[in-house]
Structures are given as C-alpha cells and as structure tokens.
Amino acid sequence: MTWELDFLNWINESLHGWEFLNVLLRYITALGDGGFIWFVLGIVLVCIKKTRVCGLTMLAGMIVISGLNNYVVKLIVQRLRPMDVAGGEELRAFAESVFTPIFTIGGKGFFGIPTGYSFMSGHTVSSCLSATILFLYNKKIVIPAIILGATIALSRLYFGVHYPTDVLCGAAFGIGGAFLVTFVSRKIVASIEKKKSLKTTRSIS
C-alpha cells in the first residue's frame, strides 16, 4: 500500500539521524531474530518448577504459532519487504548500513540484514505471543515483557523492514495464538492432574 511505504520513508527521513537510537534499537531488534529472547526466556521458565507450565506453553507456542507464520503464511502471501520494492530504495540503503552481522562464525554472519518475505512480521508474532502467554500465567513479569515485545515490534517499522500491516496483523495473530495455545495447555494440564488424582484415589482404596 502506498501510504505504508510513504510512512516508512517518512520515518527514514525524520528519525534515523539519532545514531544512539539506531544502535540501541539495532540490538533490541536482534533479540527478536528467530524468537531468540523468547526461546531463552521459555527455557529459563521451564527450569523453574513454579513456572514450568508457562515456559512449556511459550515454547510450544513459538514452535506452532510462529512456525505457522514463518513457514505457511509467509510462503502463501509472498509479500516483498518494503526495502525490496520500487520506492523503497532509501530503506534498503539504510538497512544495509545498519544491519551488518553482529558476529561471524566460519565466515557466516549472524543477525544481519533481514531476508525472506514480509507478511506477517515474525518478530511481532513471537513477541506478542510470548508477552500474552506471560500475562495469562504470570502477571509479575508481564510489564517488562510487554515493553520489550512492543519495542521489538516497533523497531521493525523503525528500520523499514516491515509494513505497518505486517506488524498489526502479526500482533493480532500472536495474541490470538497465545490464547489458543494457553487454552490447549490448560486442558492438557487439567487432564494430567485428573489422571493423577484418579490413580491416587485407586491406590488409597
């Protein structure tokens, strides 16, 4: 859509002069690459008995919901990124100047310039998915998660690697997926608890 590209070009012309902000958001957006920070958080939560179910739900959600977006939706829609279409040349130039690989192993760069299709934003899907699951299970840590998730999502617009509708739809998809995965997770836990209760009752009797 023309208005989306115009909006991203406005950001490019108006906000990218802040070098500190460019560097800060560059590292924040890298946290969402491949859902990295959310996978790490999910693993940490799994290691703590009190938050194990929440962690397992997060990991399952990342695999199922984010996987559905990355390997089904993106391939069906095949929407090019803003920097890959006519009118996005300045976005491409900025992205190439910012997204140098953070580190290189065996000649292969990691966390470099985004590739693949644009719709929906995978960073946004995983961030909104994880933050919502945390909200449903553990409200004590949800505020930092929401702030980080929102910042990661908005950074995709800041760097011009996704359209606004990529982010908006990704947020809705992630939030909806979180409720679905949590519902299924709670059903499974309830079923397991019921079976344990029946076994205990039978062993006592």
Provide the pLDDT confidence category of residue 203 given band limits of 50, 70 and 90. Answer: low
Q: Which amino acid belongs to residue 187?
A: K
Name the pLDDT band for 80 (thresholds 50, 70, 90).
very high
Find out whether the peptide bond into 120 is cis, omega within 30 degrees of 0. Answer: yes
* Average pLDDT over the chain, rounded to an integer: 87
DSSP string, the chain: -HHHHHHHHHHHHHTTT-HHHHHHHHHHHHHTGGGHHHHHHHHHHHTSGGGHHHHHHHHHHIIIIIHHIIIIIHHHH-PPPGGGSTT-HHHHHHHHHH---SEEETTEEES-S--S--SS-HHHHHHHHHHHHHHHH-TTSHHHHHHHHHHHHHHHHHTTSS-HHHHHHHHHHHHHHHHHHHHHHHHHHHHHHHHHHHHHHHHH-
Model confidence at 105, pLDDT cuts 50, 70, 90, reads low
Per-residue pLDDT, averaged over 62-87, amounts to 92
pTM here? Answer: 0.87
Flag the least confident range among 62-66, 74-78, 115-119, 200-204: 200-204
Contact (Cβ atoms closer than 8 angstroms) between residue 131 and residue 146: yes
pLDDT score of 63: 94
Which residue from 33, 61, 68, 6 is spatially nearest to 155, judged by alpha carbons?
33
Lowest mean pLDDT among 35-49, 128-142, 162-176: 128-142
User: What pLDDT band is residue 103 in, cutting at 50, 70 and 90?
Assistant: low
More confident residue, 127 or 105: 127
Q: Which amino acid is at 64?
A: V
Above 90 in pLDDT, residue 76? yes
pLDDT at 185 over 80: yes
Sketch out the chain's domains with CATH numbers.
2-103+113-204 (1.10.606.20)
Look at residue 188 and tell me whether its pLDDT is greater than 70. yes
Query: What percentage of the chain has pLDDT greater than the value 90?
Result: 47
- At residue 87, the pLDDT reads 84
Interior CA angle at 167 toward 21 and 169, to 5°?
Answer: 165
Name the token pair of 93: 């130039």
